[in-house]
Chain A
Amino acid sequence: MECDMESNIIFENVSKFYGEVLGVNRVNLSIAPGITGLVGPNGSGKTTMMNLMTGLLRPSQGRILVLGIPTELPDRLFKKVGYCTQYDSFPKGLTGRQLLHSLLQLHGRTQGESAQGAREALERVGLADAADRRIAAYSKGMRQRIKLAQAICHGPQVLILDEPLNGLDPLARSEMLALFRELAAGGVHVIISSHILYEVDLISDRVIMLNRGFVVAEGNIQEVRDEMEEHPRQVFIRCTKPSVLAARIFELEQGVEVKLHEDRRGLLVRTRTVDQFFLMMNQVVLDNDLEVEFVAPSDDDVHSVYEYLIGSESGTL
């Protein structure tokens, strides 16, 4: 437990109310190193949680520890934490380089160290050419990059990113995702919120799903999906003679629903007993001389789990 406190981000019975409006309620989490996706609809509490983690908001109840540091101590906290916020505004009159240089000086770096750190961060986010241009003249994508640079310039151990890919073109998104993976591989906690669920799915080791201020699911997405027994598993199978397979599935009562794909070369099967289904399917394939091109679960991704839990207001696990 003590080891967790020093290496994890801990929420202990945290609630945050804005007057009578609920921000988050009774959140208990222990976020380990790696990439954690924070997903939820607008107003679910994602930004509130990030602001609580960084001390920009104070909890109405409970406490938060980031690598063992209370969030009320910014002089210790922000040596280890970098936060790319959603706010799209900057101190006036500064260039990208000046912003980073000033921030690094506030971290206690010398002039030389600040200059070097600013240069490296700008190169890392692809803004080296625009470093000496005023931020006011930056495009949306460039402003997003400078926010990322501000979050990583001091080499944090925890990187909190609120919708970091907004405004970036596909190439830039891909570059940033690679950067986040690189940082996570180096031991950095990366906590990322995004509406782009397939991207969260792509890079996250685990997800935290929020809805209306409550944590509705948390953990590795496949494990979360496994616990959702009320929703039959969906499996997509591409094979020869799919109608034969479909008939056998119904005969052996292994499927709740079977749909033929529109190209008539595949089946979408919903089953409550996925392990037994796969055993059955192997036998059917052998008995009926079917050629199977592709078999995979089709609803153990973030998007599907999100739809089940939040899209249909299924409640808490």
Chain B
Amino acid sequence: MRENRVSREIGGLPWGLWLRQIEAIVRLEVRKNYLGRRALWIYLLVLAPVFLIGVKAFMPSHEGEWSQFGKAGITYAGIFQFYYLRVGIFFACVGIFTYLFRGEVLEKSLHFYFLTPVRREILVVGKYLSGWITAATLFTISVGLSFAFMYVPYGAMGSDYFGKGPGMGQLLSYMGVTLLACLGYGSVFLLMGLIFRNPVIPAMAVLGWESVNFLLPPFLKKVSVIYYLQSLCPVSLPSGPFGILADPSPAWLAVLGLLVLTLAVVGVAGLSIRRMEINYGAD
């Protein structure tokens, strides 16, 4: 049977070919991301909050601890903003995205891609998408499970919170923020993996900057991914006695800003890779 082939050219550009190539790259890379030995510590980051909240949820609880239903939302907001955004997703994206190019250079296998008729910009897009699919899938599942486990001890009250209350909306918001976090951090660490021989150092600099974001003056707060992500979280947290307040960004601006940042950084990565040489000996 003759197979159909998408070979459309639109505006003189071979979009059909590019899409097929991106698909092939994503298939190759997602497999590596999920099954490599490196993936073990990423699974640890993904499963840690699920395990801890799950254990707490299913173990017999002391009176007064889980009985405070109203505090569950704040508690989960804290877990999400301090663990998921600043630790779990951050470090998982460091591991996944910096490895996409830097790892292949260290393993001396990047030339296999460079020896195919794939535009290097397409390679960047394909690898980026594969990293995003990996990180986003793992963490949205993790967020979903941990959020659900948060309300398991409350029985019917918890179910009502989801079915009739704001629970489902909050969960979808947290998942949306997770997807955007993977987009934003992923693009930054993809670029770092391309331009730095040791991307861990600049990644730690980014971590430091994001960590002190609450102390920064309002105009500097906005120069960070975490500011926009926190603006999108359904439950706000107090910034503490030392925190400097700034107006949260409107949701549409936060989403747009993150998307523009992602496109810009991936675009720079695409330009950067054009000049890349294969010289494994130098590494």
Q: Which residues of A contact B (CB under 8 A)?
A: 18, 51, 54-58, 72, 74-79, 82-83, 85, 87, 89-93, 99, 102-103, 105-108, 110-113, 150
Contacts and interface: CB of A to CB of B under 8 A. Distances in A.
Interface in B114-145: 114-120
B162 to A, nearest CB: 40
B161 interface: no
Interface of B: 3, 5, 7, 17, 20-21, 23-25, 27-28, 31-32, 35-36, 107-109, 111-120, 274-275, 277-280, 282
A106 B278 contact: no
Given A57-B279, A108-B20, A111-B3, A93 B116 contact: no
B20 A105 contact: yes
B108 A91 contact: no
A74 B20 contact: no
A92 B32 CA distance: 8
Contacts of B279: 18, 57
Contacts of A92: 32, 36, 107, 109
A18 B5 CA distance: 44
A102 B24 contact: yes
B116 A106 contact: yes
Contacts of B3: 110-113
A58 B275 contact: yes
5 contacts: A57-B279, A72-B274, A74-B120, A91-B28, A106-B21
A57 B111 CA distance: 11
9 tightest A-B CB contacts, nearest first: A105-B24, A89-B108, A56-B278, A78-B117, A106-B116, A110-B3, A75-B119, A79-B117, A75-B117
Nearest to A106: B116
Contacts of B277: 56-58
A74 B35 contact: no
A102 B21 CA distance: 10
Contacts of A89: 107-109
B30 to A, nearest CB: 12
Q: Helix, strand, loop or mixed for chain B's interface?
A: helix
A298 B274 CA distance: 49
A72 B279 CA distance: 16
A75 to B, nearest CB: 5
A74 B113 CA distance: 10
Given A91-B32, A99-B112, 4 more contacts: A51-B278, A74-B117, A92-B109, A150-B112
Contacts of B117: 74-79, 106-108
B114 A74 contact: yes
Given A56-B114, A110-B5, A112-B3, A74 B280 contact: no
B18 to A, nearest CB: 9
Contacts of A58: 275, 277
Contacts of B275: 58
A113 to B, nearest CB: 8
B37 to A, nearest CB: 9
B39 to A, nearest CB: 11
Contacts of A18: 279, 282
B108 to A, nearest CB: 4
Contacts of A78: 115-118
A54 B117 CA distance: 11
B8 to A, nearest CB: 12
Nearest to B16: A108
Nearest to B29: A91
B199 to A, nearest CB: 20
A75 B21 CA distance: 11
Nearest to A19: B282
Nearest to B113: A106
Contact of A87 (B24, B111, B119): B111
B109 A90 contact: yes
A316 B21 CA distance: 46
A95 to B, nearest CB: 12
Contacts of B21: 105-106, 108
Among B5, B32, B117, the one with the most A-chain Cβ atoms within 10 Å of its Cβ is B117
Given A102-B24, A111-B3, A87 B115 contact: no
Nearest to B17: A108
A300 B43 CA distance: 64
Contacts of A75: 117-119
